[in-house]
Amino acid sequence: MRAQPSVWARSWIAAALASLLTSPLAWADAYNGFFFFGAGVFAYEYDPLTGGPDPTPDTLLAVGDGLAVVGFIYSFSDCHLGPIDVTAREYTMVIDRFRVIARHEWMGFTAHDGDGSGRVRVFEDVPGAGSHGEYGTFPPNATAPSSFGDEDGFGALLLEGRLRLPQAVFNSANQSWALTGEVDWQNGLLLALLPEKVRRFTTFSGSGFASEYVPVPPGYLHWASLEFRLAEESCSATDTRASTWGRLKVLYR
């Protein structure tokens, strides 16, 4: 008999099922709290020990594999960080060091638990001064993740945080996926603007699926719309700027 996932894993899979049957943004909307920032991203597998290619290309996120996420931030709220014009400069995000320590299979879903060593980084780049974020193909490659970070010396690290309880859930039936967890913000130029509670209690969640509107570059897994949210009482008001499918299509460069 196949081993059944834990109750904790089942709860996440059930939530993922409800989310992935609707829209990619519905997952984030299930969370209480103020919108912090959102990004359109692509994920890929890699070797977390060497930083090289996926050591198990025939298995989706085997135990020991690493999951990385790179993409563009398409909107910020004004809560805590103040107005940020995403059209004036390029804002990118990198999630790495997500190392799979357990897999749970149930009813066509596979949940992958991270070991807690993962991190998320947010960068600002001045157009024309630094390298534009380029996905390329079959990452890690010459441009990903390097062009989404500050490896060229021009990018500014705005925020860096450690991932808590990260989990990626894949639905083999419709090739959709979800990513969830929490963040402890620990570094970056904007860290001083965040109250202590926000630094320790930011949730992230997102989901995506195969779509003709967002072609996936060769070698990547899936596209996703990823949102970060603050504790509900952390802001008295927030200003969010909605995105559209058209804007998300532009993220594929």
> pLDDT digits over 132-142, tens only?
889 999 999 99
Checking if the pLDDT of 34 tops 70, the result is no
Task: Between 149 and 159, name the one with better pLDDT.
Answer: 159
pLDDT of residue 29: 39
> pLDDT digits over 48-76, tens only?
999 999 999 999 999 999 999 999 998 88
Task: Between 154 and 155, name the one with better pLDDT.
Answer: 155
The H or E element containing residue 58 is: none
Question: What is the average pLDDT value for the chain, to the nearest integer?
Answer: 78
Query: What angle (nearest 5°) sits at the alpha carbon of residue 143, between those of residues 180 and 40?
Result: 35
User: What is the rounded CA–CA span in Å between residue 148 and residue 143?
Assistant: 8
Strands 119-125 and 66-76: unpaired
When pLDDT is cut at 50, 70 and 90, the band that residue 239 belongs to is very low
State the burial class of residue 1 (Cβ atoms within 10 Å of its Cβ: 0-12, 13-18, 19+): exposed
User: What is the rounded CA–CA span in Å between residue 15 and residue 12?
Assistant: 5
pLDDT of residue 246: 38
The answer to which of 162-171, 206-215, 221-230 has the lowest mean pLDDT is 206-215
pLDDT of residue 248: 37
pTM > 0.85: no
When pLDDT is cut at 50, 70 and 90, the band that residue 233 belongs to is low
pLDDT of residue 168: 95
Checking if the pLDDT of 217 tops 90, the result is yes
Checking if the pLDDT of 10 tops 90, the result is no
Between the two ends of the chain, the Cα-to-Cα distance in Å is 46
- Determine the average pLDDT of the residues in 25-42: 62
- Asked if 94 and 110 count as a contact pair (C-beta separation under 8 A), the reply is no
Each residue of 95-126: b (16+ CB within 10 Å) or e? bbbbbbeebbbbeebbbbbbeeebbbbbbbbe
- Determine the average pLDDT of the residues in 143-162: 85
- Determine the average pLDDT of the residues in 113-118: 92
When pLDDT is cut at 50, 70 and 90, the band that residue 152 belongs to is low
